[in-house]
Structure 1
Amino acid sequence: MNLMNKQYENCREISGNFSLLLFLATFLIFFCSIVPKMVVSSVHIVSDFAAGPQMVETFQTNLETLGAKKSGNFLIECDTYYSNSAIFPTQKLLNLLQSSEYPASAFSLIENGSTIVADSSFEQIINNLSNFYSSKKMARIEVRGQKFTLGDFIVKLGSCTMGASFKAVVAEIEYGPCSVPNACWDLIKELGRSFVGPSISKPNQHLLARMNELYSPVDTIHQYNDIFNQIKKQTPQGNTM
């Protein structure tokens, strides 16, 4: 009986330490290098795997015809972790996203729960806590491509892959002089439809719920997270390579 009590106390201590870790990671949000900007971004799947990755070139040509200029590359990465059912009664997924736009930061999105913005070293912390969260046996999912500048717009256009498998073409349309989505959605939609067609018809699900709120960089990450979750649900287990 004493042994069981001791094991129980050990588990409580470990759980408490983990809660403290999450608190400290959350606290790091105040020290992250995320500088709020007066922009609104809308992220969309504009072509699925059936059309093939060559659609990226088609959309790029359309953008350049409109006068857009290449302005660099971008990368969004997502790794998925499972919570340990022996410690957490209800299993939760944790998606860890990193963006080339914010190289010093990591975005941890817990399923139906908190969003933690921390230092990029948070990935190493999670990997060292395999007793709590273990990496899902699924390939990393990412969007990689080029950025274009067109007036007050920045367009990011790239291929979404899971492992070595192409999954979709994703476009992020950022409008500069705006901070409330509802005030500039029509402009974003008009530009999007001018180079990808009618596939851009309404805001991303996350953005749709926040159309009259001040936009922040975390809202962009949530939109990519929604797209990644959608793609993962459509991908049969064992078919990611």
Structure 2
Amino acid sequence: MGVTWWKNATGMRDFTFIAEHVTKTLHGKNTGPWSLSFKVLRDNNQNNRQMALKDSKLLYQVSLAQQPGLVYCMVDGSVVIEAEKEMEIILSRLKNLWQLRQSVTIEGTSYEIGDFTLRVANILLGSTYKGLLLEIDYHPCTTPNNASKLFQEFVESIVPPTAQLSCEYEYNYEQVGLSNNEFTTAHTSYQYMQLFRNDGLF
């Protein structure tokens, strides 16, 4: 349902804070590891060689552990597409069209807390720590943007008041070809794309 980034988190100390708060105070259950991979590829078309790099297109690619056979892609702000995992291999072979710019795998832990699933991970880009990533699913709601207030309240209940958060609570999914009526993993992937694009994490 939602993705947020705790910008001023301090690494394992805050990761441990979340884990203990979730399991001891909220009686959540650790359900094991989870991960996501995020890639950014730059348009490498021969016709665009004279263009400034800032004018070239970027392709965003997200793979989520909860959907191991699928990958989600979007070129700049266009339509989000869902494809089989083989799309990653195809793109890696199209070096004349797309050049890998950055790639990261983020690994963390998943928790079940009543009607919520919480996924938590430290963001490390190379050796640079960027903060703590939080992904929240609210199972009773399947309509995008319908649980925005509840999502915000839940996030605020698990982080300290000093946490600097970066997140959007509502998105215009239709502008990227996604439904505003039924939430899917593609919606979560789009939220990751927006987070990484808007906050300059790449």
TM-score, length-scaled by structure 1: 0.70
User: In structure 2, what is the Cα distance between the partners aligned to 1:120 and 1:164?
Assistant: 28
Pairing partner for 2:4 from 44, 54, 71: 44
Q: 1:182 to 1:120 in 2, by over 3 A?
A: closer
Shift of 1:186: 2.4
Cα distance in 1 for residues equivalent to 2:191 and 2:21: 24
Structure-1 separation of matches of 2:148 and 2:77: 26
| Pairing partner for 1:56 from 1, 6, 15 | 15
Aligned to 1:189: 152
Hey, what's the Cα distance between the residues in 1 that align with 2:122 and 2:165?
20
- How much has 1:150 moved relative to structure 2? 0.9
Contact persistence 2:45–2:98 (CA under 8 A): no
Match for residue 84 of structure 1 among 31, 41, 44: 44
**Deviation string for 1:61-110 (max 9, x for gaps)?**
11112111101211111111111242357521111211111110111111
Q: Tell me which structure has the larger Cα radius of gyration.
A: 1
Partner of 2:33: 73
Are positions 1:213 and 2:173 aligned together? no
Shift of 1:154: 0.5
Matched pairs, number:
190
Greater fraction helix: 1
Residues 82/203 of structure 1: CA separation in 2 closer, same or farther (3 Å cut): closer
State the SS of the aligned residue for 1:58. Answer: helix
Residues 94 and 149 of structure 1: is their aligned pair in 2 closer, same or farther, counting only changes over 3 Å? same
The answer to whether residue 109 in structure 2 is matched with residue 146 in structure 1 is yes
Given residue 58 of structure 1, which amino acid in structure 2 is its aligned partner?
Answer: F
**SS of alignment partner, residue 208 of structure 1:** coil
Aligned CA RMSD, in angstroms, stands at 2.6
Distance verdict in 2 for CA 1:201–1:130, change over 3 Å: closer
Stretches of structure 2 that go unaligned for 5 or more consecutive residues are none
1:126 to 82, 91, 95: 91
Q: 1:162 matched to which residue of 2? A: 125
Query: Aligned in 2, Cα 1:224/1:87: closer, same or farther, shift over 3 Å?
Result: same
Q: 2:168 aligns with which of 201, 204, 221?
A: 204
Unaligned ranges ≥5, structure 1:
1-40, 236-241
> C-alpha separation between the residues in 1 aligned to 2:116 and 2:123?
22
Amino acid at match of 2:136: I
Greater relative contact order (Cα < 8 A, sep 6+): 2
Asked if 1 retains the 8 angstrom alpha-carbon contact of 2:7 and 2:165, the reply is: no
Contact 2:62/2:71, CA 8 A, preserved across alignment: yes
CA–CA distance in structure 2, aligned partners of residues 187 and 170 of structure 1: 18
Letter aligned with residue 77 of structure 1: S
Match of residue 222 from structure 1: 190
Q: Is the Cα contact below 8 Å between 2:116 and 2:136 reproduced in 1? A: yes
Q: Which amino acid aligns with 1:220?
A: T
Q: Identity, % of aligned pairs?
A: 21
TM-score in terms of structure 2 length: 0.82
Report the alpha carbon displacement of residue 180 of structure 1 after superposing the two structures with TM: 2.0
Provide the rounded CA distance (Å) in 2 between the counterparts of 1:149 and 1:234. Answer: 28
Moved more, 185-194 or 218-227: 185-194
The structure in which a higher percent of residues are strand is 2
